[in-house]
């Protein structure tokens, strides 16, 4: 049996956030779902509708229906982590946390910083990324140059055209779901429909990702962790294994046939893994 989603809104750290929710609080830690880069909460729909309890899929800042940062501000991992911290406090101080891709990295940083606030953690092709510390100067140059080039999104003439763009990017996405994702992920502008995410996300962050620092967060996680491996991962297996080795209590689940967008390629298989792992009685 599946459950219908409802729209929700939060004010976190003075910024307006949107979310999709399923179920009602039942005394157990809610499940919080964090999407990946340039995505939105709607991509979790076919997984979340099959979970039990209170489930919250958040639109991260500058994504989906959540507010953009103000002029002169940028998007960095510490801000995402602080937003999650505010949401967890609002939800009662303790959650079961699930993150995909960038959302998985955010989730591990949060669980390492606030180990008592996370009872179960799932990362879907997103426990971390290859080290970028050697390119610090180049990243700063790219950041400065990127800020000069920020432009508004190109408009798609129709929602259907935006949906077709999604299908061209994510092979195997069925037309009906592509349409749903495009409806939630675009806004009406002159000339058609533009993506809702802030185009400043396309500016590379000034500070490179430091894997040595991330390993300290992974080592501080105290809850059981499930790392989900799609068959066609974006990340080198050796890099993933190095990061996973730092986690004290780790289980791995493979999803055959799935690509990086596992929640879209194999929602039923992913939901089954999540339902079994997130059940705190298990």
pLDDT value at position 1? 66
How many other CB atoms are there within 10 angstroms of residue 236's CB atom? 11
Residues 59 and 184 in one domain: no
With respect to residue 234, please indicate whether it lies within any of the assigned structural domains: yes
Q: What is the pLDDT of residue 131?
A: 81
Residue 146 falls inside a structural domain: no
Kindly state whether residues 215 and 269 are assigned to the same domain: yes
Q: Is 176 a residue whose pLDDT tops 90?
A: yes
Question: Last residue of a domain, which of 165, 186, 202?
Answer: 202
> For 36-41, what is the mean pLDDT?
97
Is 216 inside any structural domain?
A: yes
| 230/116 same-domain check | yes
Contacts of 209 (CB under 8 A, 6+ apart): 128, 129, 130, 131, 132, 133
| Percent of the chain clearing pLDDT 70 (strictly above) | 99
- Of 166, 182, 202, which one is at a domain's C-terminal end? 202
Whole-number pLDDT of residue 226: 98
Catalytic residue from among 43, 66, 74, 101: 101
Q: What is the pLDDT of residue 281?
A: 66
Residues 116 and 245 both lie in one domain: yes
Q: Do 15 and 112 lie in a common domain?
A: yes
> Which of 202, 225, 243 finishes a domain?
202
Beta strands in the chain (DSSP E): 6-12, 15-22, 31-34, 55-58, 95-100, 118-124, 186-189, 192-195, 225-232, 250-259
DSSP 202-241: GSPPSSPP-HHHHHHHHHH--S-EEEEEEEE-SS-HHHHH
Which of 57, 1, 51 minimizes the C-alpha distance to 32?
57
pLDDT of residue 277: 97
- In the numeric block, which tokens belong to residue 231? 């068959």
Query: For residue 33, what are its two tokens?
Result: 């779902």
Q: How far is CA 221 from the centre of its chain?
A: 19
| Residue 282: per-residue pLDDT | 54
Cα–Cα distance for residue pair 116/95, rounded to 1 Å: 10
pLDDT of the residue at 129: 82
**Cα(34)–Cα(262) distance, rounded to whole angstroms?**
13
Mean pLDDT of 63-76: 91
For residues 29 and 121, membership in a common domain is answered with yes
54 and 186 in one domain?
A: no
Structural domain contains residue 141: no
Q: How far is CA 220 from the centre of its chain?
A: 21
Whether 142 is covered by a domain: the verdict is no
Residue 90: give the domain boundaries.
Answer: 6-136+209-278
Q: Could you tell me the pLDDT band of residue 244, with boundaries at 50, 70 and 90?
A: very high
Assigned domain for 101 exists: yes
> Are 57 and 126 contained in the same domain?
yes
Could you give the number of structural domains in the chain? 2
Whether the Cβ atoms of residue 35 and residue 66 lie closer than 8 Å to each other: no
Q: Same domain for 217 and 180? A: no
Question: Mean pLDDT for the chain?
Answer: 94
pLDDT at 135: 81
| 128 and 220 inside one domain | yes
Mean pLDDT over 64-81 rounds to 92
Mean pLDDT (whole number) for 194-210: 92
Q: How many helices (H) and strands (E) does the chain have?
A: 10, 10
Q: Residue 30 — very low, low, confident or very high, per pLDDT cuts 50/70/90? A: very high
Q: Is residue 144 part of a domain?
A: no
pLDDT in tens, 136-171: 899 899 999 999 999 999 999 999 999 999 999 887
Residue 101 annotated as catalytic: yes
pLDDT of 190:
94
62-72 mean pLDDT: 94
The larger pLDDT score, comparing residue 113 to residue 281, is at 113
Beta bridge partners of 57: 20, 33
Same domain, yes or no: 42 and 127: yes
CATH number for the domain spanning 259: value is 3.40.50.1820
Q: How many Å apart are CA 232 and CA 88, to the nearest integer?
A: 32
The answer to whether 114 and 245 have CB atoms below 8 angstroms apart is: no
Q: Note whether 38 and 161 are same-domain residues.
A: no
Residue 126 domain-assigned (yes or no): yes
Of 178, 152, 176, whose CA–CA distance to 165 is shortest? 178
Prediction pTM value: 0.96
């Amino acid at each position: 049996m599946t459950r219908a989603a409802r729209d929700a809104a939060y004010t976190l750290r003075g910024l307006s956030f949107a979310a999709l929710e399923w179920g009602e609080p039942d005394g157990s830690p809610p499940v919080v779902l964090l999407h990946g880069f340039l995505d939105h909460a709607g991509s979790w729909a076919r997984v979340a509708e099959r979970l039990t309890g209170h489930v919250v899929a958040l639109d991260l800042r500058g994504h989906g229906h959540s507010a953009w940062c103000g002029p002169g501000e940028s998007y960095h991992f510490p801000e995402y982590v602080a937003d999650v911290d505010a949401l967890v406090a609002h939800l009662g101080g303790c959650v079961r946390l699930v993150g995909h891709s960038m959302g998985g990295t955010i989730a591990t940083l949060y669980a390492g910083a606030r180990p008592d606030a996370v009872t179960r953690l799932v990362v879907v092709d997103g426990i971390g990324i290859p080290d970028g510390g050697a390119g610090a100067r180049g990243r700063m140059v790219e950041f400065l140059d990127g800020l000069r080039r920020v432009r508004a999104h190109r408009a798609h003439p129709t929602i259907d055209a935006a949906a077709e763009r999604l299908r061209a990017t994510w092979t195997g996405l069925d037309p009906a779901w592509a349409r749903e994702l495009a409806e939630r992920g675009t806004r009406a502008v002159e000339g058609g429909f533009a993506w809702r995410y802030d185009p400043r996300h396309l500016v590379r962050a000034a500070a490179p990702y430091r894997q040595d620092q991330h390993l300290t967060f992974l080592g501080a996680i105290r809850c059981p962790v499930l790392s989900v491996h799609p068959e066609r991962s974006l990340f080198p297996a050796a890099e993933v294994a190095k990061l996973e080795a730092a986690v004290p209590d780790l289980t791995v689940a493979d999803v055959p046939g799935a690509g990086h967008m596992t929640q879209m390629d194999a929602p039923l298989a992913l939901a089954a893994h999540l339902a079994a792992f997130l059940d705190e009685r298990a």
